Amino acid sequence: MSVAAACLAVFGLSTITLWSAIPLGFALHLPALLIAGAASAGAIVGGMAGALLGERLRSGPLASLLERAQTAASSRARRLIAKFGVIGLGLLSPAVTGSVIAALLGRALGMSLRPLLIWLSVGVLVWASVLTMVSYWGIDAIF
């Protein structure tokens, strides 16, 4: 497999999850910097897509369903968002839920688009770097 195809595979998988994309990059024998870059770019693009989809869900045909779900199930989520805000969501969610779900949740809860995407991008860059380094050192220690 060529390096470009391997980077594209890491990029595509990281739009869904960083946890699987980074080991895939190592399995495809990519350098660590390419893995971190492709995974970061993919997760950021996934977050942007999630934010746009979240906006459409808020104003689209599912608005009443989303409103009922917010009032019933999101009291805990709203408390966490009130406590930690967009910064907490952006920094923690790439490792916990993934950037797509975090962006959907943030937009569904009415967070502003620009700060949400900025903090999601910062969180993705941090977590992609951390997970790539841990994976690299773990593989290096094993072999």
pLDDT value at residue 101: 87
pLDDT digits (tens, 9 = 90+) for 17-40: 888 999 999 999 999 999 999 999
Per-chain mean pLDDT for the chain:
84
pLDDT value at residue 142: 65
Q: Is the model's pTM score more than 0.85?
A: no
Dihedral Cα 112, 61, 49, 93, nearest 10 deg = 60
pLDDT digits (tens, 9 = 90+) for 108-123: 777 888 999 999 999 9
| Contact of 26 with 140, CB cutoff 8 Å | no
Stretch 84-111: mean pLDDT: 85
pLDDT value at residue 129: 93
Minimum mean pLDDT range among 33-42, 53-62, 98-107, 128-137: 53-62
**Residue 15 per-residue DSSP state:** T
- What SS3 string covers 32-89? HHHHHHHHHHHHHHHHHHHHHHHHHHHHCCCHHHHHHHHHHHCHHHHHHHHHHHHHHH
